[in-house]
Amino acid sequence: MKSTKKLKSDFALKIMVEIWDDLRRRARTLENQIDVKLVILNKLASGTSGRYESLLNDKATVSGKQELFDSLSAEIESMIAKLTQMTEYIVKCQANSRTGAWASSPALQHTLKRHREILRDYCTEYNRSHDNIRNQLQRESLLSGSSNESSYLNNRAKASDIYLKENEHISSCDRLLDEQISIAISAKEHIHNQRVSLRDISKKMSTLA
């Protein structure tokens, strides 16, 4: 029959293993979620990001991409903070374990090391992707501003061209009207002269008769 001390030790080991397994499950869940979000974040630069793609199509502007970038960044940072806390709990669980053989086993040490490496890799990848995409959005914003300014100048130039053409059209109409008036005046004078000539001829013929 097992001694009370042995029973307590077995019970403590059982509880510790259950806590350890629960912490590991939570850590793996967070790791998988972060991995998915990082993939989406990296695809944001190319304009394709899975379930965010429809939003990108609706918000193809720089401000729309910036909004999604900020949202994804906030989600990932929150998850990394939770994973950091979870990893610290796992370390404390191993360090505070009174079951020395279990806590110092190579398999457990390898698992603990692996969780730390994954956390470090995610932090590195997130910082790199975050900086790259932020710089890209800044460049797009500058280009968009230049494009808008160029479009504004082009629109002003087009408006100026239309105004000049309209003025030319009006001037042309004025010249045409002046020419028509001149022709009408000349015709009137010609008719008047003809009438005078005919009247003179008529008088001469009356005198001869």
Kindly give the confidence (pLDDT) of every residue in the chain, 209 residues in length, as a single tens digit, with 9 standing for 90 and above: 456 666 666 666 677 778 778 888 998 999 999 999 999 988 886 655 455 555 444 445 667 788 888 989 999 999 999 999 888 888 877 776 655 566 667 877 888 889 889 999 999 999 998 898 888 888 877 876 654 545 555 555 555 566 566 666 666 666 766 666 666 666 566 666 666 666 666 665 566 55
At residue 59, the pLDDT reads 46
Residue 206 lies in a domain: no
Closest to 27 measured CA to CA, from 102, 93, 126 = 93
Q: How many residues are listed for the chain in this entry?
A: 209
At residue 74, the pLDDT reads 92
Residue 200 lies in a domain: no
Residue 129 structure tokens: 């992707």
CB atoms within 10 A of CB 48: 12
Residue 186 lies in a domain: no
Residue 110 lies in a domain: yes
Q: Which residues contact 53 (CB under 8 A, 6 or more apart)?
A: 47
At residue 161, the pLDDT reads 63
Domain assignment of residue 15, given as a range: 4-163
C-alpha 162: how far from chain center: 35
At residue 36, the pLDDT reads 93
Residue 173 lies in a domain: no
Phi, psi of 172 (to 5 degrees): -60, -40
Residue 183 lies in a domain: no
The structure's pTM equals: 0.58
Residue 16 corresponds to which amino acid? M
Residue 69 lies in a domain: yes
Q: How many separate domains does the chain show?
A: 1
Residue 207 lies in a domain: no
Query: Based on the number of CB atoms within 10 Å of its own CB, is 152 exposed (0-12), middle (13-18) or buried (19 or more)?
Result: exposed
Tell me if 76 sits within 8 A of 55, measured CB to CB. no
